[in-house]
Structure 1
Amino acid sequence: MSQGSFVFSPTALRSLQLDEDMLERHRYRKQLATHQLNGYLLKKEARERVTRTLVTATAPAVCHDLVIQNALYTGDKEAVQRVFPKGARTNLIIEPQGGDMRWVARGGGLWSLTYEQELTTPLHITAGRGFTECLRHLLLRGASVDLSPGGSTALHEACQSCQPECVKLLLSYGANANALSEDGLLPLHMCTSPESIECAKYLLQFGAAINGRSLDEDDTPLHVAARNGLLGHTELYLRYGAALDKKNDEGKTPLNSACSHPQELQDLERYLRVCRLLLEAGADLHAVDQDKQSPLHMACKNVNPEVVDLLLARGACVNEMDYGGQAPMHNILKVVCYKLSHKPERVVRSLLNHGSIRVWPGALPKVLKYCCGSPRTIEALINAYTRIKVTDDWVEAVPPEVFKEHQEFYESLFSLSESPRSLQHLARWKLRNFLDGRLIEVVPKLNLPTFLNNYLLLESRDYVH
C-alpha cells in the first residue's frame, strides 16, 4: 500500500455513501427552489406589467382642445354632452391659460418668466362654477370624483366657491367628504364665507369630520368659522359636537381665533355674536395661546369694545400679563391711532373701570404722542390720576394739525400745568379708588342720577377740569 493511502472500512464506505446521498438531495432541493422562484418572479413581472398597462390606459390625458375647454368654462350643457358622448374619456387634465407670473428654471441654468399653471379637470371647472347639469353629465360618464391633479378635489373647489348643489351632487356620487388637499385642508376648511353654510351642512350629513385638523395650522372647522366670524357655521358645528377646547399650532382655541382675527368696523357685530355663542357653549375665556395672550388681550388689540365688555362681564382677568409682560391695556394703547373709527376710548374706559393698571405717569408724554388722535382716550387715561405734571414735553407731543382739530380739549389739558384738578374730579377719584375692582358692580346699585353715574365711569366730556 502506498504511503499516504488508507483502507476504507465498511463503516467508512457507508458514511461516504450517506454523505453523497445528502448532497444529491440538497442539489435537488436547490434546483427545485430556483425553478419555483423563477416562476414566481415571472408571474409577478407579468402581473405588474398588466397593472402598468391598466394604469396607463386609465391615466388622465392632458386636454388642449379649446372647444372642450370653452364648453366647460361657459357651462354649455349641450356642448358638453356633444364633446363627452357615451364612452368618451372624462378624466382629462386641463392647463388654464393665464394666472400669476413666476420664474421657472430651464435647461443650462437659464431662468424664464412664465405663467404659473394650476392643473384642473372638467369636474373641477363645472363644480367650481356651479354648472350642476354639466357636472351631472360628467359624473354619469364616469368622471373620477376624487381626482386632484392640482392638489385639491372638485369637492374642495365647490366648497370654496359656495356651490351647495354641486357639493351635494359630488357627495352623492361618492366624493370623499374628508379628502385632504395638497395644502392639508379638508372640504370643511374651505367653507370660509357666510354663503358656504349649505355646503357645510351637506358635508356633515355625508360624514365630514367635525373636529378634523388641517395639516399645517392644525385648525378645526370651528377655528375657521370663528376666525371668519361665521355665526351660522359656528351654530351648526356646535350642534354636531365641535370641540371648544381644541388648540391649533399657535395654541389658540376657537374663541382665541375669533378675538384675534383682524376686524373691520362693519364686522364687529358678527364677531361679538360668535364670541357670545362660544362663551354660552362653555368656551374658556381664560385660555391663552403660545404667547400667553388671552381672548381679552386679542379683543383689545383688535379694538372690539363690545367683545371687551362681554369678556370683562364674564370675569376675564383685566391685568393678566403675556410672555412679553404686556397687559390688555398695553395692547389697546399700541393700536389707538390705527383704529380711531372703532372708538378705542370705550375699551380704555372699560379696562380702567374694571381695575386695569394705569400708565406710568412718566410714560404719559409718549402715550400722548401716539394716541393724540383720540383725545377721548387721553381724557380717560388722565382722569385716572389725582394730579399729573404737565410739561413742555406734553405740548411738543401733539402735532399742530391735531392740536388745531381738537383745540378745546388740548387747551384744557395743557392748562393743568398752571392749575390743580377740580374738587369734583378729586371726589370722583377718591370714590373710584375706594371701590377699586368693585366699581362696575357697585355704581349701578347706587341709583345715582345718570350724569353722576356716567361721570364716575369716566364717560367723555371732551375736556379735563
Structure 2
Amino acid sequence: MSRGSFVFTSTALRSLELDKEMLERDKYRRQLATHHLSSYLMKKQTIERTQLRSNIACPVTVCQDMVIQNALYTGDLEAMQRLFPRGSTANFVIEPQGGEMRWVARGEGLWSLTYEQELTTPLHITAGRGFTDCLKLLLQRGANVDLAPGGITALHQSCENCQAECTKLLLIHGANANAVSEDGLMPLHVCTSPESLECAKLLLQYGAAINGRTLDEDDTPLHAAAKNGLPDHVDLYLRYGAAVDKQNDEGLTPLNAACSQPQEVQDLGRYFKVLKHCSQSPRTIEVLLNAYSVLKVTDTWIESVPEEALKEYKEFYESIFSLAMTPRCLQHLARCRLRSFLEGRVHKVVPKLDLPNFIKNYLLLEYRGYVH
C-alpha cells in the first residue's frame, strides 16, 4: 500500500455510493427547477408582449357554458368556428359538470357530498380526443399550449391518448416536450402503449429528455417502456442514447423492471426473439427466463440460437432446452411466487430478510450459468 493511502470499509464505500446517488438526484432536481424557471420566464415574456400589443390584460377565466363544452367534446368544428371567431381568445379553463362524488368540508364542521371537479382547457379536450382541426383552430386563436390547470398539459393528454397528429401540432406551436405534470411525469413517461410510439418519436425530435426521471419513482422513459412491454419504444430510446443501467428509487434498472412484470402465457412465444438477439449474453437470458414460472420451449428456440453461441455456452443452452419436456423445479416456482407477492419491492425487501446470502442472491436472480 502506498504512503498516504488507506482502505475503505464496505460501509464507507456504501456511504460514498449513497452520497453520489444523492448528488446526482439533487443535480437532476436542480435541472428541473432551472427548466421550470426558464419556462416561466418565457411565458412571462410572451404575456408581457401580448399586453404591450393590446394594452389589455387577459386573465384566465373559468367557462361553464354547456354550448361551448358540447362543441369541444364532440369536435364540432363548425360550432367552434362560430364560438371562437377571429379576435376571440381560447385561453380559459373549463370546469366540467359531473364526475366522481366526494365529501367536501363547508366550514363549522359541516360536510357535503359534491361532484369532484377536474379542471381542463379546450386544448386538453381536443388534443386528448384527436380533434386535429379543432385543435388547430384553438392554437390559431392563441391558446396557451402549456396551461395545466388540472396538473397536466395538453401535450401529456395527447401522448397518453396516442394522438400523434395533435402531439405534432402542439410541439410545432411551442409545447414544452419536458413539461412535468403534477404527478412528476414528463410526456415521454405517459407513452405507455404500443400506439404511442409515434408520439414518442415526435417528443424526441422536439428535444424530450431521453433520460428524464419521474419525481416519485425516479423512472426513466426506458423504465416505463420496459415495464409496459414495449420493444419498439425500447429500441427507439436506445437509439437516442437512453442509459440502460440507470436505477430507479427501488434500485431497478430497466432490465430488472421488465423482468419484474408478470406476462400472459400467450406472450411466452416471443422468447425466441430474445434468444436470437441476446444469444451471446447468457446472463441477460437467464435473468429474463427466471422471471417466469412457465416456459413454452419449442424447436424454434433451438433454431434461434446461432451455432457458435451453442458451442460457447453449451451447458447453459442445454439446461434451457431440457425444459421442453419438464416443468420448472419446485425451488424456482417458490422463488417466482415470492417475487410475485413482493412485486416491485423485491430489491428493497429481500436484502432485509433474515436469510443466508445464497438464498437472498437466488431470490434476486443472481447469475448461475444454468436454468432449472
Q: Same fold (TM over 0.5)?
A: yes
Provide the residue aligned with 1:331 in structure 2.
335
Q: Distance in 2 between the 1:142 and 1:314 partners?
A: 65
Does the aligned pair in 2 maintain the 1:126–1:134 contact within 8 Å?
A: yes
CA apart distance, 1:198: 0.5
Provide the residue aligned with 1:197 in structure 2.
197
Matched, 1:140 2:140: yes
CA apart distance, 1:278: 8.7
How many residue pairs match? The answer is 273
TM-aligned CA distance change 1:110 to 1:254, over 3 Å: same
Q: Distance in 2 between the 1:90 and 1:251 partners?
A: 44
Provide the residue aligned with 1:415 in structure 2.
none
Q: Distance in 2 between the 1:67 and 1:112 partners?
A: 28
1:203-260 deviations in Å (ceiling 9; x for gaps): 0111111111110011111111111101111111111111110111111111111111
* Local SS of the residue matching 1:137: helix
User: Between Structure 1 and Structure 2, whose CA radius of gyration is higher?
Assistant: 1
Provide the residue aligned with 1:100 in structure 2.
100
Does the aligned pair in 1 maintain the 2:185–2:214 contact within 8 Å?
A: yes
- Tell me: higher relative CO, structure 1 or 2? Use CA pairs within 8 A at least 6 residues apart: 2
TM-aligned CA distance change 1:250 to 1:328, over 3 Å: farther
Provide the residue aligned with 1:61 in structure 2.
61
Structure 1 vs Structure 2 CA RMSD = 3.9
Q: Distance in 2 between the 1:178 and 1:62 partners?
A: 26
Matched, 1:251 2:243: no
CA apart distance, 1:276: 6.1
Provide the residue aligned with 1:77 in structure 2.
77
Does the aligned pair in 1 maintain the 2:153–2:179 contact within 8 Å?
A: yes
Provide the residue aligned with 1:125 in structure 2.
125
CA apart distance, 1:266: 3.3
The residue type equivalent to 1:113 in the other structure is L
Does the aligned pair in 2 maintain the 1:167–1:199 contact within 8 Å?
A: yes
CA apart distance, 1:113: 2.0
TM-aligned CA distance change 1:207 to 1:274, over 3 Å: farther
Gaps of 5+ in 2: 1-47, 306-312, 321-329, 341-357, 360-367
Does the aligned pair in 2 maintain the 1:123–1:135 contact within 8 Å?
A: yes
**What's the TM-score once normalised by structure 2's chain length?**
0.64
Gaps of 5+ in 1: 1-50, 287-293, 317-325, 337-355, 358-436, 441-456, 458-465
Does the aligned pair in 1 maintain the 2:278–2:284 contact within 8 Å?
A: yes
Q: Distance in 2 between the 1:143 and 1:233 partners?
A: 31
| Percentage of pairs with the same residue | 61
* Local SS of the residue matching 1:300: coil
Does the aligned pair in 2 maintain the 1:177–1:208 contact within 8 Å?
A: yes
Provide the residue aligned with 1:151 in structure 2.
151
TM-aligned CA distance change 1:216 to 1:335, over 3 Å: closer
**Map of 1:345-424 to 2, 5 A cutoff?**
none
The structure 2 residue matched to 1:299, chosen from 287, 291, 302, is: 291
Does the aligned pair in 2 maintain the 1:296–1:328 contact within 8 Å?
A: no
Q: Distance in 1 between the 2:244 and 2:103 partners?
A: 44
Q: Distance in 2 between the 1:282 and 1:171 partners?
A: 40
* Local SS of the residue matching 1:111: strand
Does the aligned pair in 1 maintain the 2:282–2:369 contact within 8 Å?
A: no
Provide the residue aligned with 1:389 in structure 2.
none
